[in-house]
Amino acid sequence: MTDRRRFLTGSLAAGLSAAVARPAAAQVFQGGAAPMTNPIQIGVLGPFTGPDQRLGEQMGDGVRQAFEQVNQNSGIFQRPLQFRTYDDIDDIGVAQQVAQFAAGDGITAAIGHLRADTTEFALRIYYQNRVPIIVPTTTADSITEKNYDVVFRLPTRDTDEGQLCARDALQTLKADSAVVVSQPANYGPSVAAGFLQAFNSGKRAATQVVVDLEKPDFAAAAKAIVADAPQVVFFAGISGRLGPLLGELRAAGYTGPFTASQGFWDQTTAQQYAKEAAGMIASTSMPPLALAPQVRFDVDAYRARYGAMTPVAAFCYAAAQIVSQAVRASGGGDRSALRAAIAHGNFTTVVGNFRFTAQGDPLEPNLYFYELRGDQWIYRRQARNTGFLVK
Please, what are the averages of pLDDT over each run of 10 residues along the chain (391 residues)? 41 31 51 61 96 97 96 76 96 96 96 96 97 97 96 98 97 96 96 97 91 97 97 97 98 97 96 96 98 96 97 98 95 90 97 98 98 97 95 78
Residues 6+ apart with CB under 8 A from 192: 162, 180, 181, 182, 208, 234, 236
Question: Rounded CA gap, 295 and 351, in Å?
Answer: 8
Which strands form 205-210's sheet, in the order they lie side by side? 205-210, 177-182, 232-235, 258-260, 281-284, 368-373, 376-382
Residue 8 has what pLDDT?
A: 40
pLDDT tens for each residue of 107-146: 999 999 999 999 999 999 999 999 999 999 999 999 999 9
Query: Is the CB of residue 95 less than 8 Å from the CB of residue 46?
Result: no
Sign (positive/negative) of CA torsion 27, 32, 38, 43? Answer: negative
The b/e string for 17-37 (b: 16+ C-beta within 10 A; e otherwise) is eebeeeebebeeebbeeeeee
Give the CA distances from residue 200 to residues 176, 237, 261, 374, in Å, rounded to whole numbers and listed in that order. Answer: 10, 20, 18, 32
Write down all domains in the chain, each with its CATH number in brackets: 26-156+291-354 (3.40.50.2300), 158-284+367-382 (3.40.50.2300)
Dist CA 40 CA 37 (whole Å): 9
Give the number of other Cβ atoms within 10 Å of residue 151's Cβ: 23
Q: Tens digits of per-residue pLDDT, 216-254?
A: 999 999 999 999 999 999 999 999 999 999 999 999 999
Q: Are 151 and 123 in contact (CB under 8 A)?
A: yes
